Amino acid sequence: MKWPRDYGLSMRMWLTMGLLLLVYLAFLTVLRSLGVGLGWLVLISVGLAFVQYFFSDRLVLLSTGARIVGPDEYPQLHETVGRLATEAGIPMPRLAIMPSPIPNAFATGRSPSHAVVAVTDSIHRLLTPRELEAVLAHELAHVKNRDILTMTIASFVAMIASLIMNNALFLSFGDRREGSPWLIAWIAAIVVWVVSSLLLRTLSRYREFAADRGSALITRDPEALISALLKINGKISAAPEERRRQAEGASAFYILPVTGSTLAELFATHPPLEKRIEALERIRMELGQGGLVR
């Protein structure tokens, strides 16, 4: 399935990745000029990126308590995902169920052939079949867009900055040279970590817009995703604070975050719900829909 491209969204994503690249090159140039040895930092960062990329599915399933389920347990879910995956032009992913009273969903895996799509065991009780299809299509769009690979590459040098930021004082203590460069490196790492975190969150928000668009194009029913997002958001808002805190660790993976940010929108991993709905409404007009198609 070939999707019509949103050139404005694509341009914003490429611009964000370009800015990340410039920040990273400047940071590496500063470290090199200071004579900071990068060998072990790169080695550790490569190791972390390797684990994040190749074992992302296992790590996320472990952190959320989700378990892989077969077609004998959830035949309708498998049938629906299989049909949507065919429509999206990707292999059938593995399916997982995570226990939670807060309805949500996520996708993980390093490639379409190693993907996992997970939903909470409570989502079936909240959403209609149409709405659940739209949510599943959103997650399959993440898989088709290879978002795990995108975010792993984008965050690589941010990991180096984080390592320096967390360990520079220890490293400077062991550095007997006069005028140790580690203090300057530490300040540079803080600046790079803050700037790159903002850019990574911006990229994450664009990926959510792209997955929403993918869902609408797979199902040709953006109204269903709008309805599903509103229902999920309402359920999250009504959930006890303790329940939301329990699920907060994996919030960035979910179709909707389980905790609202008290900081500026710049620090959010997801776009505001209102903007997502506005974008879906525009897609509905692009598809020439005067109403529901199904």
Residue ranges covered by each domain of the chain: 7-286
SS3 (DSSP) at 69: strand
204 and 270 Cβ atoms separated by less than 8 Å: yes
Task: Specify the pTM.
Answer: 0.84
Residues of the chain where predicted confidence (pLDDT) is lower than 70:
1-5, 36-38, 40-41, 45, 167-180, 182, 246-252, 259-266, 289-294
pLDDT of residue 248: 62
- For residue 292, what pLDDT is reported? 42
Beta strand segments in 36-161, E? 67-69, 94-98, 105-108, 116-120
Cα of 36 vs its chain's centroid, Å:
32
What does the pLDDT read at residue 249? Answer: 58
pLDDT of residue 4: 64
Provide the annotated active-site residues: 139
Residue type, 173: F
pLDDT computed for residue 262 by the predictor:
46
pLDDT of residue 286: 85
Q: What is the pLDDT of residue 38?
A: 64
